[in-house]
Chain A
Amino acid sequence: MGSVVYPVLRFLMPPPEQEASVSAVKATSLTEMAPNSGKVFKFGRKPALIVRQPDGTFRAFLAKCTHLDCVVQYREDKERIWCACHDGFYDLNGTNVSGPPPRPLDALEVHMQGDDVYVTRKS
Chain B
Amino acid sequence: MSTSPENPDRALLAWAKDRYPIGKFVEWAEHKTVPIGPGAFWYYFGGISLFLFLIQVGTGILLMFYYKGSADTAFESVRFISAKVPFGWLVRSVHAWSANLMIFSVFIHMFSVFFMRAYRKPRELTWLSGIVLLALLLGFGFSGYLLPWNELAFFATKVGTDIIGVIPVIGKPIMYVLRGGEEVTGSTLPRFFALHVALFPALLTTFIVGHLFFIQMQGIHEPDAWKAQPEQRKTMPFFPHFFMRELLLWLITLNIVAVLAVFFPAELGIEADPFSPAPAGIKPEWYFLSTFEFLKYMPAHVGPLEGEELGLLLISFGFLLWCLVPWIDRGQSRRMTTIVMGTGVAILIFLTILTGIGYAT
Whether chains A and B associate is: yes
Interface residue count for B (Cβ, 8 Å)? 22
Residue on B nearest A19 in the bound complex, by CB = B80
The 8 A CB mask of A1-25 against B (1 = contact, 0 = none) is 0011001101111110100110100
In angstroms, Cα B87 to Cα A12, docked, is 9
Q: B230 on the interface (CB 8 Å rule)?
A: no
CB-CB under 8 A from A3, the residues of chain B are 258
Q: A121 on the interface (CB 8 Å rule)?
A: yes
B72 touches A11 (CB 8 A): no
The 8 A CB mask of A30-51 against B (1 = contact, 0 = none) is 0000000000000000000000
A20 touches B76 (CB 8 A): yes
A11 touches B84 (CB 8 A): no
A121 touches B85 (CB 8 A): no
A20 touches B68 (CB 8 A): yes
B91 touches A11 (CB 8 A): yes
B68 touches A10 (CB 8 A): no
CB-CB under 8 A from A23, the residues of chain B are 72-73
In angstroms, Cα B258 to Cα A98, docked, is 58
In angstroms, Cα B91 to Cα A4, docked, is 10
Q: B79 on the interface (CB 8 Å rule)?
A: yes
CB-CB under 8 A from B81, the residues of chain A are 20
In angstroms, Cα B62 to Cα A12, docked, is 7
Q: Known: A20-B66, A20-B80. Is A15-B73 also a contact (CB below 8 A)?
A: no
B73 touches A11 (CB 8 A): no
Partner of B86, one of A4, A11, A21, A121: A11
A21 touches B68 (CB 8 A): yes
**Closest Cβ–Cβ distance, residue A8 to chain B (whole Å):** 7
Partner of B62, one of A11, A14, A20: A11
The 8 A CB mask of B114-144 against A (1 = contact, 0 = none) is 0000000000000000000000000000000
In angstroms, Cα B81 to Cα A12, docked, is 11
A20 touches B79 (CB 8 A): yes
CB-CB under 8 A from A8, the residues of chain B are 58, 62, 87
In angstroms, Cα B66 to Cα A21, docked, is 11
Q: B88 on the interface (CB 8 Å rule)?
A: yes
Q: B90 on the interface (CB 8 Å rule)?
A: yes
B86 touches A20 (CB 8 A): no
B76 touches A21 (CB 8 A): yes
Residue on A nearest B76 in the bound complex, by CB = A21
In chain B, positions 249-301 with a C-beta closer than 8 Å to chain A are: 254, 258
A21 touches B62 (CB 8 A): no
Partner of A17, one of B73, B84, B88: B84
B85 touches A21 (CB 8 A): no
In angstroms, Cα B304 to Cα A22, docked, is 53
Residue on B nearest A45 in the bound complex, by CB = B76
CB-CB under 8 A from B65, the residues of chain A are 11-12
A11 touches B77 (CB 8 A): no
A7 touches B87 (CB 8 A): yes
A15 touches B86 (CB 8 A): yes
**Closest Cβ–Cβ distance, residue A4 to chain B (whole Å):** 8
The 8 A CB mask of A54-66 against B (1 = contact, 0 = none) is 0000000000000
Apart from A17-B84, A20-B73, A21-B76: 6 A-B pairs, beta carbons within 8 A: A4-B254, A10-B86, A11-B86, A15-B86, A20-B77, A20-B79
A-B contact pairs, 19 of them (CB 8 A): A7-B86, A7-B87, A7-B91, A8-B58, A8-B87, A10-B87, A11-B85, A11-B87, A11-B90, A11-B91, A15-B84, A20-B66, A20-B68, A20-B73, A20-B77, A20-B80, A21-B68, A21-B77, A121-B72
Which A-B residue pairs are the 9 nearest by beta carbons? A21-B76, A20-B80, A20-B77, A7-B87, A10-B86, A11-B87, A20-B76, A21-B73, A15-B84
